Amino acid sequence: MSQRHVPVMLQRCLDLLAPALEQQPGGVPHAEGQGPVVVDCTLGLGGHSEALLTRFPEARLVALDRDKEALRLSGERLAPFGDRATLVHAVYDELPDVLDRLGLPRVQGVLFDLGVSSMQLDEADRGFAYAQDAPLDMRMDQTTGVSAAEVLNTYPAGELVRILRAYGEEKQAKRIVAAIVRERDKEPFGNSARLVELIRDALPQAAKRTGGNPAKRTFQALRIEVNGELTVLERAIPAAVKALAVGGRIAVLSYHSLEDRLVKQVFAAGAANTAPPGLPVVPEAYQPRLKLLTRGAELPTEEEVAENRRAAPARLRGAQRIREDEQ
């Protein structure tokens, strides 16, 4: 498992979080008698979590994932760390409830890796990958919610066009949806190969010559819709910032522009002062709550992309909590 799962931008994530998680005089405050707490909001196969526990031997890990199979496999991987690792079946916007149940009002570090896990891409029956035929499922938690097939077969055409445009940034959305509606009237969609073939046939030649597999954007859009990813992320990033102790740090790996834009907006809002213009001195209540740790979004190195092609679209942003919210 660890061989097929290569954590993206691992060393840079660890370095970003290190000042908040290393035990040092005057370091980030944490609960009396306990080490620092770091939350991996997207556990996946546990590569980042394992590295966090190894590098920061005093740290306690809380790790969330909505995928029960990922939790099972990661539980085996992280078993040597004993009770330093607490794994929770939850979506990452449930972070405040999880921390409340665990009696952890503040944490010192938070990590998000928003990519689809290697396991989900590699397991054919999950339906995430357009490169192999599989049932059109795409649910990260297969115990709940609607599948990609249900979206394709039941959503009105106008809603499908909106999803492909908004979540896939697909310029040919109308053309693709017209073909989907025409074909689903003949026979409902069930497997990915038929959808991939339909998209290839629907697109003009010029659109097929650029941007990799022509089905990529449609599959991304369906995955985001099925899992409510952007809606969840809109709640999760502010909640994670709020959970940080002063001095705590957050690192977020995004994989497409919609995610990265949302993270950028939350961080930028936290790093700006909110005082009315023209004040000679900015009162404490209006001072920024966050300090940005990255100049824009950092990219993986050429060497990393050569070793791990799934790192190519990654964008990393980091921020540090420098002030409490005003009560």
Give the residue extent of every domain in the chain.
10-119+229-321, 127-227
Average the pLDDT over each of 13-27, 177-191, 289-303 and give the range with the smallest value. 13-27
- Grade residue 122 by pLDDT with cuts at 50, 70 and 90: very low
Residue ranges at the known binding site for S-adenosyl-L-methionine: 46-48, 65, 92, 113, 120
Burial of 56 (0-12, 13-18, 19+ CB in 10 A): buried
Binding site: residue ranges? 46-48, 65, 92, 113, 120
Q: 186-222 burial by CB neighbour count: b if 16+ within 10 A, else e?
A: eeebeebeebbebbeebbeeebeeeeeebbbbbbbbb
More confident residue, 130 or 187: 187
Quote the pTM value: 0.85
Mean pLDDT over 29-56 rounds to 88
Residue 209's pLDDT band, with cuts at 50, 70 and 90, is low
What is 127-227's CATH topology?
DNA polymerase; domain 1 (1.10.150)
Nearest to 56 by CA among 76, 75, 28: 28
Q: Does domain 10-119+229-321 have CATH number 3.40.50.300?
A: no
